[in-house]
Structure 1
Amino acid sequence: MKSYLYSIILFLLLLSCGQKKEEVQNLQVGVSKAVINPPMSAFIAGDKQNRKFTGILDSLYVKTAVFYDGNESFALVTVDCIGLLYQDLLKIREKIGTMDLGIPFSSENIVISSTHTHSGPDVVGLWGEDFTQSGVDSVYMDFLVKIAAEQILTAASKLENTAVRYASTEYGHDWVANICEEEIDRSVTILQFLNDKGQNILSLTNFACHPTYLDAVYNEVSADYVAGFYQEMEKQLGGEHLYLQGAIGGWIQPIDKGISYEEVLQRGSGLANAAISALKEGESLKSNYLSFRSKKINLPVENEAWRQLAAGGIIQRTITEVVETEVVWFSIGEANFASHPGETAPIYGLHTKAMMPEGPQFVLGLGQDALGYIVKPDYFEDQTLPHAPYLTSMSLGKNTGPYLMQVLKALAEEHH
């Protein structure tokens, strides 16, 4: 009889252990967002200097998703701005380092991607009254850093089990072009996270196009076509939706500028409809495990203008012969993500995806940093190429792209 009871107890213990192991393997996600509209006294980023906001067309957001698989965890943050710089990411990490997220979490495991709207505040410094004054509002930046950290904390408090579906399609053939008349990546890649009831918690959508319809046309706050994307995704799917900007350098632009604000929103809702339609034929991820790798790097600064902007306090950052930044490579199951610290030419986005195994592929332009255009070396060697004088004037130098690819290749090999 004792032997029989011991057998039952042993069986129950083994069953319990098996259940705990299964629970650890469940992927959890939590989401949060907050409005980050700037004051009307803020300078507008994009186009000419010395422009200030006169109103709000639609709100800007910081949106956060925290992922946890029982072992690994990280946070993915999107910001509706022209491009958050690396030093602001470091400030967010510093705040998170003082917080208890309730799960094992390293503040190093924070990824930030900017949507690059040209109808948001100057968070870089280039669009003040003139080139002798920074356009950054330090009070607003303190607010933005604080809000971003708080949203990570809130998202971590809302973790729930999730199943993940993915899909891909193409979009924008009639309104998006590489005006340098070179490669273009029209892919739309989507991950959708569903709760136990099959309801949408979160979606991540990766697409590449400058949000510049409203640039120099309106002086109101707006996420540009991304606002229409947000609105349509929320309307049809519920839950939260992060827009992950792709490789837009060299130079991916809307080609039908001059349309009305309502039509701009329709461009974004069309992107949402393409993503939702693709998800109807989507597949489930085979794995829920998370993996995260990052590498701090020093990019060579060949363009003297960057050093002068830093020396003059226009860009409040240390820039010498090199500038410190960071690249990340992470995965959610078989979905792979890699960051580019600026506006990379599509060729570098395509090369990055070629390093990834089969499965959903995401390239996060303006990820972790916003170091201008990262274009082919050809543009430095041949200034007769389309838009070469402007693109190279806003670039660190001709070696940035090749060096970035070397770093990403090493991270990809380490990751896999």
Structure 2
Amino acid sequence: MSVLFAAGLFLSPLACRSDSPADGETSTETGTETGTGDGDTDPGTETGDGDGDPGDGDGDPPPTNYEVGFDVTDLTPTEAELAEGFYLGGYGFYTERGAAEGIHDQVYVRTMAIGYGPADGGIFAVADAIGMGNQWTRAIRAEAAAMTGLSEEQIIIGSTHSHGAPDLQGLWGGVPEGYRARIITAIATSMATAWNDRVPADLEVASTTADNRNRRGWDFTDDGLFVVQARNVDGGALLGAMVAFAAHPVVLGSSNLQMSRDYCGYAVDNLEAQLEAPVLFFNGVQGDVSPQVPDGMYADDFERAQAYGDHVAARTMLALDAVEPVGVDMFRNYADFELDVTNETFLLAAQAGLLDYDFVIRDGVGLVATQTAYFRFGDEIQLVAFPGESLTRNGLPIKEAMTAPHQVVLGLSGDALGYFVPSDEWNTGLNDNYEESISVGMDAADVTRDLLIELMSQDPG
């Protein structure tokens, strides 16, 4: 059996449907209360020595403001890189869709660094990509940590999940090795630039809703839209913003071979034009969520994508009319853990060298190592990084466990391990069990959800 033929057999279910616009155990946990320091002379997880000396981060007075920086870096492939055989992600089985034929709009990584004191805080970056295999995310986090001196626990890399963006998972044909090496360093450098460019800043936050719909037949979904923006303490100039909202970027269908950010790009471009500052867009609890394009007459799918992006941007701007300040206090928590991989398609494709993922077999059981992170900013924001595409009924309980008024799940962040289907919804026939076919296994959603809720419960705030 040839590799390509095997790829077709292995990967035929591993694609989002083009019904446009629809389309383990914990190994380590660390918590860091950075508001006051512990002052007890033990090493703990703090960065200082517990003696209360200024500047060591342990027992010091808490910061009086955040320090925030932004960066935007172009990741668009060159014509030479496109010519090597460059695939977009999201539709069809391996290489079936065909290689990208051109660039409709450029792709980027956008980064927001939020510092709390000289060495604490977090870096949040999101790339215009269908997702990232764990080979990518490990390399990016390690390189960014080396550049900044931060721990990898403080570094979050996500994907917008645009189905017109590069396939950084290897599921649909992948990208050339030269492009891969180039943008891993570019993304890490973007993170380091944002961290190094931090200035004293105030955070402001707001939440609202926007239109979307559930593709598994539920009459509810997570329609929450979150936005946090940063203003320079010196003069109040807007530095940038981060938006999180759930909807699959599938307005552009499977016939599109032009690289594009789909509606996410139009939303970002609209907001950046109005705010005159960088804007990050993260997808949220979007595993079973599709766009709801406003009614209208559109010349093509790009116009439809723009209409939906403009809707998301308009809702964001409306929310920004009612921002509230974020208190200067931070707590973060983190866990490395493993998930059982019972999806034989994933295991076979990885063994064939077709995927940008590392799975292991231990005692006859397939496993994948992953991680998740939790951040609280003030009393106003609770945020988690979710390593894949959580379905609505798995993601909403995470938000319901939060007590802050502004609740955020950053989907496809840290990893992109397929769909996370709650066990009581597994193989119940919804959407023809499509999402189950692209999940690592039945236990993944419950394990990840429960772990995140446990991480949040350790927050003393």
If the TM-score is normalised by the length of the shorter chain, which range does it land in? 0.7 to 0.9
How far does residue 260 in structure 1 lie from its aligned partner after superposition? 3.4
Aligned to 2:439: 395
Further displaced range: 21-30 or 265-274: 21-30
How far does residue 22 in structure 1 lie from its aligned partner after superposition? 7.8
Aligned to 1:269: 310
1:159 is aligned, of 190, 198, 204, to 198
Q: Aligned partners of 1:371 and 1:227: how far apart in 2?
A: 23
Alignment RMSD (CA, Å): 2.1
Runs of 5+ consecutive residues of structure 2 not aligned to the other structure = 1-53, 55-59
Matched residue type, 2:102: G
Q: Aligned partners of 1:260 and 1:394: how far apart in 2?
A: 26
1:148 is aligned, of 169, 177, 187, to 187
Whether 1:355 and 2:401 are equivalent positions in the alignment is yes
Q: Aligned partners of 1:108 and 1:381: how far apart in 2?
A: 34
How far does residue 358 in structure 1 lie from its aligned partner after superposition? 2.2
CA deviation profile, 1:186-215 (whole Å, cap 9, x unmatched): 111111111132222111111000011113
Q: Aligned partners of 1:92 and 1:343: how far apart in 2?
A: 20
Q: Aligned partners of 1:186 and 1:43: how far apart in 2?
A: 31
CA deviation profile, 1:211-248 (whole Å, cap 9, x unmatched): 11113132111110011111111111111101011011
Matched residue type, 2:200: N
**Conservation of the 8 A alpha-carbon contact between 1:329 and 1:415:** no
Q: Give the SS at the match of 1:271.
A: helix
Q: Give the SS at the match of 2:370.
A: strand
Q: Give the SS at the match of 2:89.
A: coil
Q: Aligned partners of 1:263 and 1:402: how far apart in 2?
A: 35
Aligned to 1:4: none
Whether 1:310 and 2:350 are equivalent positions in the alignment is yes
Whether 1:344 and 2:384 are equivalent positions in the alignment is no
Aligned 1:366-381 pairs, distance under 5 A: 366-381=412-427
Aligned to 2:259: 221
2:222 is aligned, of 176, 179, 185, to 185
Q: Aligned partners of 1:395 and 1:357: how far apart in 2?
A: 29
How many residue pairs were aligned? Answer: 382
CA deviation profile, 1:264-301 (whole Å, cap 9, x unmatched): 1121122111111111122111x122322211110011
Q: Aligned partners of 1:44 and 1:191: how far apart in 2?
A: 30
How far does residue 58 in structure 1 lie from its aligned partner after superposition? 1.2
Whether 1:404 and 2:440 are equivalent positions in the alignment is no
How far does residue 343 in structure 1 lie from its aligned partner after superposition? 0.8
Q: Aligned partners of 1:179 and 1:107: how far apart in 2?
A: 35
Q: Aligned partners of 1:404 and 1:308: how far apart in 2?
A: 24
Aligned to 1:131: none
Matched residue type, 1:242: L
Aligned to 2:236: 198
Q: Give the SS at the match of 2:369.
A: strand
**Conservation of the 8 A alpha-carbon contact between 2:250 and 2:290:** yes
Aligned to 2:31: none
Q: Give the SS at the match of 1:28.
A: strand
Q: Aligned partners of 1:237 and 1:381: how far apart in 2?
A: 45
Aligned to 2:430: 385
Matched residue type, 2:413: G
Aligned to 1:209: 247
- Largest Rg, 1 or 2: 1
How far does residue 124 in structure 1 lie from its aligned partner after superposition? 0.8
Q: Aligned partners of 2:62 and 2:376: how far apart in 1?
A: 20
Identity rate of aligned residues, in percent?
28
Aligned 1:120-139 pairs, distance under 5 A: 120-128=165-173, 135-139=174-178
Q: Aligned partners of 1:73 and 1:254: how far apart in 2?
A: 33
Q: Aligned partners of 2:141 and 2:194: how far apart in 1?
A: 15
Matched residue type, 2:269: Q
How far does residue 85 in structure 1 lie from its aligned partner after superposition? 2.3
**Conservation of the 8 A alpha-carbon contact between 1:68 and 1:290:** no
TM-score when scaled to structure 1? 0.87
Whether 1:79 and 2:127 are equivalent positions in the alignment is yes
How far does residue 379 in structure 1 lie from its aligned partner after superposition? 4.2
How far does residue 123 in structure 1 lie from its aligned partner after superposition? 0.9
Matched residue type, 2:309: G
Matched residue type, 1:65: M
TM-score when scaled to structure 2? 0.79
Aligned to 2:44: none
**Conservation of the 8 A alpha-carbon contact between 1:26 and 1:69:** yes
Aligned to 1:300: 340
Whether 1:233 and 2:271 are equivalent positions in the alignment is yes
Aligned to 1:169: 208
Q: Give the SS at the match of 2:125.
A: strand
Q: Aligned partners of 2:146 and 2:243: how far apart in 1?
A: 31
Runs of 5+ consecutive residues of structure 1 not aligned to the other structure = 1-16, 129-134
Aligned to 1:44: 88
Moved over 3 A (4+): 21-24, 255-260, 378-381
Whether 1:114 and 2:159 are equivalent positions in the alignment is yes
